[in-house]
Structures are given as C-alpha cells and as structure tokens.
Amino acid sequence: MATIFGLHNLEAGSPGETATPMHRFIAAVLAQHPIELGLQLLSDGTGEVVGLFAGPLQQAWDEAIQALHAYIARSIPKEFNLCLAEADPYDLNLLGFFKTLPALVAVMPPHGHGLILIRGTAGLGHHHADGFLS
C-alpha cells in the first residue's frame, strides 16, 4: 500500500505532457528491469479496440501515444474566463475532481473561473494512507 500511496503523491503532469513524474518513475524502474516487448492497446469510449502496438516497450508506447492524440487531443483557440467541465468518467468520487482540474486550468487565464461537475456517488475517495479521505 505504501508504494501505491507514494505513486499517487507524485506531482501531477500537465495536459498533453508525456514526460510526467509518473512516466519518469516508470522509466527509471524499467532502466533497472528492462522489458523487451511492449504491447499497447487503445480502445475508444465504447470499448472498441482502435489500435494495437507491439515492439520494444518505448517504441510501442510512443506509437500508441501518437495514435491516441487523434482521439483525445483538441486545439483550444483561446483562453476562457469562465469554464464549465464535467469529470466523467472520473466523477464517482471527489478524487475525480483532481483528474479534471489540470485540463480546466490549462484553458483559463490566471484569474479565470471554473466549475467542475462530479456525481460523487462513491463519496470522497480513499487514496490517502491516513484514512482522511476514506
């Protein structure tokens, strides 16, 4: 459990960033314990497989990320002073808010206002070891 909690406490990356703290951590582990073959499977919102990439781990990951951009990346023409966002499918608990927040902040100017909607049917969440959010 300590490892899981520690990984959840890594600094968050920014929307569109692939060299996140989590990715750097995984790369460091893989440098010590190399994996020869990587399989990356992409599925769309319905669960339909839209891509399968195989090869050396980093190469397969890079190709999958490139293909993923066609499904998730959108160009934002300007910043918005007022933004409304939903956290679906990460809206079952309060922790889903934190998955949506970086994307919302990325499209707002420094003093913009944002509102994130979550269902919260699963309560607050429970990623902290001390039980604070359990």
C-alpha span between 125 and 105 (Å, rounded): 22
Q: Give a yes or no: residue 31 inside a domain.
A: yes
Average pLDDT of 18-34? Answer: 85
123/90 same-domain check = yes
Range of the domain at 91: 78-134
Distance CA 108, CA 76 (A): 10
What share of the chain has pLDDT > 70, as a percent?
A: 90
Q: Which tokens in the block code for residue 3?
A: 């490892």
Kindly report whether the global pTM for this prediction surpasses the value 0.85: no
Number of domains present in the structure of the chain: 2
The pLDDT tens digits of the residues spanning 77-100 come to 788 899 888 887 777 877 777 778
Residue type, 109: P
8 occurs within a structural domain:
no
Residue 5: inside a domain: no
Domain identity same for 65 and 115: no
Answer yes or no: is 91 within a domain.
yes
